[in-house]
Amino acid sequence: MSGAPRTIPAGTVLFRAGDPCRGFVLLHAGSLRVSLTAANGREVVLYRVAPGEVCLQTFSCLVEGRDYSARGVAETDLLAEIIPSADFHRAIAADETFRARVFGAVAQRFADFERLVEDVALTGFPARLARALLRLAGSRESVQATHEQLAAETASGRAVVSRQLARFADDGLVQGRRGAIRLLDRGALARLARDG
């Protein structure tokens, strides 16, 4: 169906708004970040693609025959295949296992989007920021991110992030360092993320 997986270095831009779709991205390792950038330069992270997940931008472009409307950047080194459009369409039509895998992943991605819209529309900002900090930290004790990057993660402005981080620091939840935020009270952040 496609060539061998290839390594794509972290920081590589796989696609930009206005680019034609070269094929279906099948990710074997790493993380691809997909974001929108407004005319004023403000960025909002839409989602990340991990192995086994589908990039909705790519899927939509292939199915609708349109150009990309967002930007995809290798957040880490990637191991990926780019399945050419004709091969993708043949596999969707003829390979039941591939079709079920792709459609299942698309359904999951739409559920993720519903949660994102609910999060932005119905959740207070302190809870959104707490969720982003916990998600980005994973099992680590700190998040390596600037206030601007956190603004992109939470669909907000840098000044809003800075003010809320200062409140979190005053409450003993986090400690800020240049380019990093140390999580001091994960339990309190998790309660805020859950109840906010």
Q: Which of 121, 147, 173 is the last residue of a domain?
A: 121
- Short-list 28, 30, 21, 26, CA closest to 1: 26
Question: Are 48 and 114 contained in the same domain?
Answer: yes
Q: Which CATH number does the domain housing residue 64 bear?
A: 2.60.120.10
Query: Are residue 52 and residue 21 in the same domain, yes or no?
Result: yes
Whether residues 85 and 31 share a domain: the answer is yes
The owner of tokens 């039509």 is 93
- Looking at 121, 144, 160, which one is the last position of a domain? 121
Question: Is residue 13 domain-resident?
Answer: yes
Residues 185 and 89 placed together within one structural domain of the fold:
no
Residue 50 half-sphere exposure, CB side, CA atoms within 13 Å? 2
pTM here is 0.66
The answer on 134 and 65 residing in a single domain is no
Does any domain span residue 113?
A: yes
Number of domains present in the structure of the chain:
2
Residue 28: what are its φ and ψ, rounded to 5°? Answer: -100, -30
| Pair (177, 97) in one structural domain | no
Task: Single out the residue in 121, 147, 175 at which a domain terminates.
Answer: 121
User: Is residue 1, in this structure, part of any structural domain at all?
Assistant: no
| Domain membership of residue 69 as a residue range | 6-121
Q: Is residue 184 part of a domain?
A: yes
Do 103 and 72 lie in one domain? The reply is: yes
- The answer to whether residue 21 sits within a structural domain is yes
Q: What is the pLDDT of residue 123?
A: 73
Q: Give me the residues of the chain with pLDDT under 50, please.
A: 1
Residues 38 and 13 in one domain: yes
Looking at the fold, whether 61 and 76 belong to one and the same domain comes out as yes
The domain that holds 149 is classified in CATH as: 1.10.10.10
Q: Is residue 43 in some structural domain?
A: yes
* pLDDT digits 0-9 by tens, 140-153: 999 998 898 898 88
- Residue 173 has a pLDDT of 95
Residue carrying the six token digits 């739409």: 110
* 132 and 105 housed in the same domain: no
Residues 60 and 137 reside in one and the same domain:
no
User: 13 and 59, same structural domain?
Assistant: yes
Contacts of 146 by beta carbon, 8 Å cutoff, 6+ apart: 179
How does DSSP assign 22-64, residue by residue?
-EEEEEEES-EEEEEE-TTS-EEEEEEE-TT---HHHHHHHHH
